Structure 1
Amino acid sequence: MELHKKELENRSAREVFEDHLELAQKGELETDLERNYSGESVLLTNYGVFHGREGMKEAAKLLKDQLPGGNYNYELKLCHDEMCFLHWTGKSDVSVIPDGADSYLIKNGKIMVQTIYYSVQKLP
């Protein structure tokens, strides 16, 4: 999906949110960051605060290391005006995440602020 700058800016929060989730499921991090995140985005997590697209890459690597080769299920998706919420779960051969919860503040077609909480449980 090739979108021009003006088209990207005019997307609703839900459109940005859905595009982000679709690209995340496909593992297309670079496209997701460029298309859906502000260069000044901030991510607040139970593992720290991450800034900008480089920070998003760092957080994504952390999750990938915690749930190697994992797959994710989106349990609940909600949006209201500029805010969206996601409840998700994840599973890999070595660990599970039963309680992922993300929130997003989306303005002018970009994710400006995101929060993520999740806990990792190692499998026996």
Structure 2
Amino acid sequence: MARTPQQIFDHHIEALIARDVDELLVDYADDSVLITAAGVAQGTAGIRAAFSQLSAALADAAFEIKSQTYHEDVLLLEWTLDAPAFAVDGVDTFVFGADSIRVQTISQQVRPKG
């Protein structure tokens, strides 16, 4: 049975907070795309590389969801991240497909502390 967009996202966040890249990749397919200002990561191998770099930066960081707005298979997410050396305000867009995240965009503003 296919998961709903909410179920996929809930699993995605749990894996992200746990910094478990293998579990995070369960939510993507071989044709999924992750788009950021740094570039485009395609497929699970590209997305693995992008999140492997990100998970190191998330050490000792507190993640908070500010808002979630769903419309059918699309989610707009506003979030913040608070780490010892920096804070981040971010907005992600998710487009869900058959039991996976088909497209995710990440836009973020990083503010150094101190």
Q: TM-score, normalised by structure 1?
A: 0.82
Q: 1:63: Cα distance to partner?
A: 3.0
**1:114 is aligned to 2:104:** yes
**Matched residue, 1:30:** 22
Q: Distance in 2 between matches of 1:27 and 1:64?
A: 6
Aligned residues: 114
Whether the 8 Å contact between 2:19 and 2:55 is mirrored in structure 1 is no
Query: Structure 2 residue aligned with 1:91, among 82, 107, 111?
Result: 82
Q: TM-score, normalised by structure 2?
A: 0.88
Q: 1:68: Cα distance to partner?
A: 4.3
Cα distance change of structure 1 residues 26 and 67 upon mapping to structure 2, 3 Å threshold:
closer
Higher strand share: 2
Secondary structure, aligned partner of 2:54: helix
Identity of aligned residues (%): 26
Structure 1 portions without partners, runs of 5+: 1-6
Structure 2 portions without partners, runs of 5+: none
**1:101 is aligned to 2:95:** no
**Matched residue, 2:34:** 43
Which deviations, in whole Å up to 9, do the C-alpha atoms of 1:34-85 show, x marking residues without a partner?
Answer: 2x11111111111111111222222223434555432211111121111112
Cα RMSD (Å) = 1.6
